[in-house]
Chain A
Amino acid sequence: MTALSPEEWQVLLLSLKVSGVAMAAILPIAFALAWVLARWRFPGKVLLDALVHLPLVLPPVVTGWLLLIAFGPAGPLGRFFAEGFGLTFIFRWTGAALAAAVMALPLMVRAMRLSIEAVDRRLESAARSLGAGRWRTFATITLPLAMPGVLAGLVLGLARSIGEFGATITFASNIPGETQTLPLAIYSALQMPGSEWQVTRLAVLSILVSLAALVASEWLARRSGSRYGQAGAAHHAL
């Protein structure tokens, strides 16, 4: 009795979709924020730093409530996305993805910022003097050297988003087939008497997904790190 039931498949695929979309959407934003925090100096930087870290220190249910206020039908961002892009979040899988992305953001920014700060800027000036413009220097020197940290951030974020519960259930609710990801499905199963077997199966599924993400990240880190001496330095620093 190992084959997944249609309901379990639905939960698994929805979880992967929510986390995958959350990562794809938040990765460029996380990197840009990490870049700004690592490289720029401006008034209000402490404030931006604190804001980015908020989802890490707030109770997730509070983050979910804040998302509800901002991205709800009456919220300023909610109206902006609804009117501008026809995109709504409440009670929809997009809301689950948004919650997962916001909760993953601080971990991703932290890892990426460290790795950007660790890049030796003297190497960038060497590239400039050899004829590379800013963008080429970024693409050929800075980004490859920061890559282990970027991957580490991606994995941390992915793990966080797969496990996201509090902000999701507050903001997007717990709707089977729409916003019910693995943790929410386990929670629902736990509410029903006599569902121990179902809970066990979902928990094992959840462990397998996390393990797969971990193995994939190790593989990626090795691949990107083996090309030079500082193999995944930022990766292991975490």
Chain B
Amino acid sequence: MPFDLAIALKRGKLRLDYAFRTEKGGLTALFGPSGAGKTSLLDAIAGLARPSAGHILVQDTILFDKARRIDLRPEQRRCGYVFQDLRLFPHRSVRDNLLYGWRLAPPAQRWMDLDTALGFLGIGHLLDRSPATLSGGEAQRVAIGRALLSGPRFLLMDEPLASVDAERREEILTVIERIRDELALPILYVSHDRAEVDRLADRVIDIPARG
């Protein structure tokens, strides 16, 4: 089972509950309005926020289980997290950004090499640039490449079209479709855009508004 999750997250005094399971891989969209806590949910799956209760299983591996006191550190979870704000390392070149996770991964866990990623994403000409000089679409592709190269077992994508201008949307959408169709990688995809979700998602999980 790609994703099996039931957790409670505290946000101030508010308690947010999330629960869902996916029977098959492919792209699962988490769809809901801004402020519904979708990013908090991804952070919890990545190990960057700690749920107050519940469990998180991905591909039948327990990442978090309050009752069993299991809480894998972020670096042990092998998740490819494409952040909404990208978070490219400003003091490193595009090449070093792309290879950051790749160099840390044991060779057996890497399933993509740099050349493949460059071709896949069309970013070979950007290697020696600094992230500060990239356009929104270029930076987005580098962020996706960095996540793929780290040898993840699943992908978390948080509004990957948010930092991309209208003309480049199609380009990124195509890249995401290719990842969905050509790589056997379960994807959790956060979006508040119905059209985007309809086009990309194999299934949709609604995250209702809160508060």
Binding site for B on A (CB under 8 A): 120, 122-123, 125-133, 136, 140-141, 144-145, 227-230
Contacts and interface: CB of A to CB of B under 8 A. Distances in A.
B48 A128 contact: yes
13 contacts: A125-B46, A126-B87, A129-B46, A129-B75, A129-B79, A130-B75, A130-B146, A131-B78, A131-B101, A131-B105, A229-B90, A229-B132, A230-B90
A129 B81 contact: yes
B48 A129 contact: yes
Nearest to B103: A131
Nearest to B86: A126
A227 B91 CA distance: 6
Contacts of B79: 129
Interface string B131-175: 010000000000000110010000000000000000000000000
**Which 5 residue pairs are nearest across A and B when measured between Cβ atoms?**
A130-B101, A131-B104, A126-B87, A128-B74, A228-B91
B127 to A, nearest CB: 16
A145 B92 CA distance: 10
Contact of A125 (B74, B90, B104, B146): B74
Interface residues of B, number: 26
Nearest to A230: B90
Contacts of A129: 46-48, 74-75, 77, 79, 81
Contacts of B73: 128, 133
Given A130-B146, A140-B100, 13 more contacts: A122-B87, A125-B48, A127-B89, A128-B75, A129-B74, A129-B75, A130-B147, A131-B101, A132-B104, A144-B91, A145-B90, A229-B90, A230-B90
B75 A131 contact: yes
Contacts of B75: 128-133
A103 to B, nearest CB: 32
Contact of A126 (B81, B91, B132): B81
Contacts of A230: 90
Contacts of A140: 100
Contacts of B105: 131
Contacts of A132: 75, 100, 104
B47 A136 contact: no
Contact of B132 (A122, A130, A228): A228
A130 B206 CA distance: 28
Nearest to B150: A130
Contacts of B101: 130-131
Nearest to B96: A140
B136 to A, nearest CB: 16
A67 B202 CA distance: 71
Interface in B71-110: 73-75, 77-79, 81, 83, 85, 87, 89-92, 100-101, 104-105
B159 to A, nearest CB: 15
A136 B46 CA distance: 18
A141 B101 CA distance: 13
